[in-house]
Amino acid sequence: MINTDYLKNLNKAQKEAVLHLDGPLLIVAGAGSGKTKVLTSRIAHIIKEKKAFPNQILSVTFTNKAAKEMQNRVSIMLGSAATGLSWLGTFHSICAKLLRKHATAANLNSNFTIIDTDDQIRLVKNICKAENIDIKQLAPRFILAIIDRWKNKGFYPNEVIINNRDIYEKTILPLYKIYQQKLIDLNSCDFGDLILHTVKILEHHQDIRQIYSNNFKYILVDEYQDTNFIQSRWLNLLSEKNRNLCCVGDDDQSIYSWRGAEIKNFLEFDQVYKNTKVIRLEQNYRSSQNILSVASNLIANNQNRVGKNLTTTMEEGNLVKLNCFKNGKDEAIGVSDEIEKKIKKKYSYNNVAILVRAIFQTREFEERFLKVGIPYRILGGTKFYERAEIKDCIAYLRLIHQGKDDLAFERIVNNPKRSVGDTTIRSVHEFAKENNLSLELASIKMIEKNLIKPKTKIGLSIFLNSLSKWRNDLEIKKISHIKLLQIVLDESGYSAMLKNKKDVDNENRLENIKELLSAMKEFDSLEGFLEHVALATSVDQEWDGEKVNMMTMHGAKGLEFDVVFLPGWEEGLFPHQKSIEEKGQNGLEEERRLAYVGITRAKKRAIISFSMNRFYQGDWINSMASRFIEELPEKHLEKNSFFDEETDENDDFDFNQDIEIEEGTRSPGWIRYQKRIK
């Protein structure tokens, strides 16, 4: 039996969105405005009014979690009638279902396999080997990223138009042709194929397109601002007949252009679909008014947006805090103190989040939390000292410090590649065991006895000689442990490997290593630092229980917390310099949307902070407050600076983005701090 109470708990705009059933509809749903409730209520209403049978409704989400939540809510409303909603799911799951019905039109059998990322990488590696492509220079993940980009644009290999400004596309296009043919030969698809094949079938087979265009009387799409070209094209083809396409989203939360999302799908919806009805959901049910006012004022600086004015029936709440710190370490201390002294008395750790722009920023907070005993988890990522590139660096330092560290030796002896394969490693292990030697000493003895193949001998000898040289640098020349790691990364070829290898993740890896160098500055010796790392990594890593959440702002989308800390609001870091350099004004606006997403994750308290100086790659870097801070409304802010608490005056908390700083001088905030302490 259908629960007819679904309209009672809707506000005016929500009810209008549910009841408007004829023609294209764009629902501009602000953060926390109850869009899922609207979508599920709309499905219930369509069925109750007998506008369509359940199997004539197509409802699309981006994640399995969202699809499951929608299914559960609809089931509560519709009861047994919800079982007929056979077309509710993600883009990929629905396209897979369609493709299996019409696989022959894509030169596949209906029992085709959907390969995962590991299988994709393995296939590309095999192709590169056959085509003499050096995967050290052109990483399989990067090749797959370009192929995926082409698929998101709707291009089969023979439809790709090479961008002459991209030096890699000419190399990758022939690989795409081979890759795609291999998939057909294997009767397989990757995730990009599921939508691409389906779109091509709909475009080239009018009879098939008519079947589904006629059947789907209503189409509903969640998070429409995150759609790419091929997804938008798919929806366009399926809505051709009935035109009852309802898309829900928030252009102010469009933050995934780096994964192919095109905000113009949202902004130009009413141009593509004539006579579109636009309804704005502006009633927020998540955040206090002060939080909403800060977020709304910030995002209003974007030009490319539909526009809306969020309000709430909740209390005004606490002012949004804006904290200025001397440096990044003080920022981490400030956040931990706030949690210890105030937050944990009122809120569960599980309802507290630290949202960063870049994942390397978690390091200082992790260090501080481990020191004072605040439990935490990294959502959507790995703890700092557990990241592969960090473990590699630590392994180099451990082996230099202690030649008997076989685990460290095994990790880095062939990293970067030195022609020391698994067979050689096994031989060294056997020799070491027989002669009661460390792996390093066993390697030296085996070279002396000519027990190593000539090619391997060269690479292994260079590595062993380097180890000896680095120990001399440390013990005889007395260079610092920080300088030592910089030398190791340079002379080992590890830095060059990351810099030269075209890999989508290498930028983050390099940033993490720079942050590691900053961390080492806090210790007087290599031994002290390695002991610190060992203790840090030995801490209980259990996922469950009460823990503060750390994650990137990208990873926080769709989540909410009582308390949200937003550190590192500094020029170059946030907005990120690379985003502005690559995309100009569009990049800046996406960074601002990211800031908006971060702030609107907070229900009761939001704390923004920045530092006047950061220790970066072994040196102090002067920083300027983010331009976004200048865009926050004063009356909704509580400003605090933490330089000298006894003498600090809030009215001195002043930062001007127009101040010109001569090269080689400190930031205005640093200068003010120096004046105070003299």
Peptide bond into 24 cis (omega under 30): no
The answer to whether 71 and 77 have CB atoms below 8 angstroms apart is no
Cα 26 from Cα 273, distance rounded (Å): 10
What does each C-alpha distance from 201 to 91, 104, 151, 206, 243 come to in angstroms?
16, 10, 14, 9, 20
Segment holding 114, helix H or strand E: strand 113-114
Strands 619-622 and 602-616: antiparallel
- Token pair 């451990």 in the structure block, residue: 398
* 117 is a catalytic site residue: no
* 601 is a catalytic site residue: yes
* 486 is a catalytic site residue: no
Q: Which of 36, 283, 486, 537 is catalytic?
A: 36
Q: Which of 190, 222, 250, 503 is catalytic?
A: 222
Cα 234 from Cα 195, distance rounded (Å): 8
What does each C-alpha distance from 181 to 156, 160, 177, 185, 370 come to in angstroms?
11, 15, 6, 6, 51
Peptide bond into 54 cis (omega under 30): no
Q: Which of 35, 368, 509, 605 is catalytic?
A: 35
The answer to whether 121 and 163 have CB atoms below 8 angstroms apart is no
Q: Which of 190, 193, 223, 392 is catalytic?
A: 223
Give the DSSP letter of residue 91: H
Cα 457 from Cα 61, distance rounded (Å): 55
* Local structure of 257: helix, strand or coil: helix
- Residue 422 structure tokens: 């698994």
Q: Which of 225, 227, 253, 552 is catalytic?
A: 253
Closest CA to 17 of 234, 207, 392, 283: 283
Cα 397 from Cα 470, distance rounded (Å): 9
* 253 is a catalytic site residue: yes
* 222 is a catalytic site residue: yes
- Residue 152 structure tokens: 């998101």
- Residue 396 structure tokens: 């180099």
What does each C-alpha distance from 566 to 365, 516, 587, 595, 616 come to in angstroms?
12, 21, 20, 9, 19
Q: Which of 308, 387, 501, 601 is catalytic?
A: 601
Which residues are marked as active site?
35-36, 222-223, 253, 601
